[in-house]
Amino acid sequence: MATQDAADAQTTPSMDPYEALGVTPTASDAQIKTSYRKLALKYHPDKNNGDDTAFKRVSIAYAILSDPVRRREYDTSGEVDKKDILEQEIDISEASFASTLAASMISSLGVTIRTAVPIKALEAVRSGAVQVTDVTMPCKVSEYVKKGEIRLFRCALSEEDTAAGVIVSVTSLAGDKFKLLHFDQNDGRNGAPEGLELSLQEMSAKFSSMKRSHAGFYFTGRQSFNYEPLSAVKMSKLESRDLMMFHSLDNWTPRECVSIQPGEQVFGVYGDNFFDKCTIQFEIFRLGEHTADDVKVKLDIGEIRSIEDQISTKRDELMRFQKEYVAAKVAYERAVVRHQKEAEAVKQLIAAREAAYAALTIPDVQSKDAPPASTASSTFTMPTIDTSAFKSFTFSNPFAKK
């Protein structure tokens, strides 16, 4: 399926992604994401007799504009490489058991698989078929959500709450996968269906040093950020492993919404585990002082803001440092090549010098009395002995009796 999607993306004719999503070239990330979600629901194949042409078009447009690198590439050249452009969220609600099992095994290896909230689950919420649990501020409840289903919570927010800042936080101590959702009430105007419509979505993320997973909405009036580690696919495309550090904050992205209006607000938690139900702690509270069991606690996000400001600054620093590093690396690699060439040149020069010194000598002079080297005999001859002098020689025995 992924191979076919990639092939379809490569053969898709040129298009204007801004026009496809109905946004302007100056649209913010939040505007682009909001428009995509509305169009994705509108053109989903389940609602168009299986026709996915329009759905793929808006999906490709969102893949271009939601990625800063691709968006910059399109704004500069008017084109973008589509070979891996459909690395999007997938709806596994209709997937076979084998596909779901394979996805869960890959996910268990640490490879993130983005799954979309199924259109059927969203339609159930829109039609009022999902029960809503009313909660009051501050609230902290432990619940569970079945796989592929949505649990809804409704809370009334006052003007004092929204002015102080409202936090909606969901945590799974078991590290389960889930999505935190926010729904707007659609009154049916402009031809849109009446009912609750998905407006915000945050995917749970695991803390690297803890088993638990977490997602949250931070309506504080100030920009907050999401962080997701670099995917294995993107890491594999880097030229060298030493460049990974410079891309470690590529997925440092601003959250969609910084404020919320007073009145009734509906939040949801979608169980995103492949097989099991999801156990969660749902919290909603406002910033400021709280009293629990006669103990006063002041909740603020001052430390979070300080750290996120440092990370944003560090991301900009890394982008500048990467240029310096790459330039220095290229200069170093050139220096290494020259080092090898210079070492070989020195070696050859020294060898040539030794040969030149060895050749600086007069020829050998041969002695006149000495036989030519070619006529000198190298054969040894035994001398002969004259035995005639020993014929009259006798030998007397000194021990003989006389």
Do 206 and 327 fall into the same domain? Answer: no
Do 132 and 195 fall into the same domain? Answer: yes
Instruction: Extract the tokens encoding 114.
Output: 């983005």
| Strand order across the beta sheet in which 278-286 lies | 139-145, 278-286, 166-172, 213-219, 205-206
* Structural domain containing residue 328: 310-343
- The pLDDT assigned to 193 comes to 67
Do 275 and 147 fall into the same domain? Answer: yes
- The pLDDT assigned to 382 comes to 58
Do 191 and 326 fall into the same domain? Answer: no
Number of Cβ within a 10 Å radius of residue 384: 6
Only one residue has tokens 């432990």, namely 142
- The pLDDT assigned to 35 comes to 84
- The pLDDT assigned to 337 comes to 95
Do 292 and 318 fall into the same domain? Answer: no
- Tell me the whole-structure pTM to 2 decimals: 0.61
Do 224 and 258 fall into the same domain? Answer: yes
| Residue 59 domain flag | no
Q: What residues of the chain score a pLDDT lower than 70?
A: 1-14, 45-52, 80-115, 188-193, 208-209, 232-233, 274, 293, 366-402
In angstroms, rounded to a whole number, what is the distance separating the alpha carbons of residues 330 and 323?
A: 11
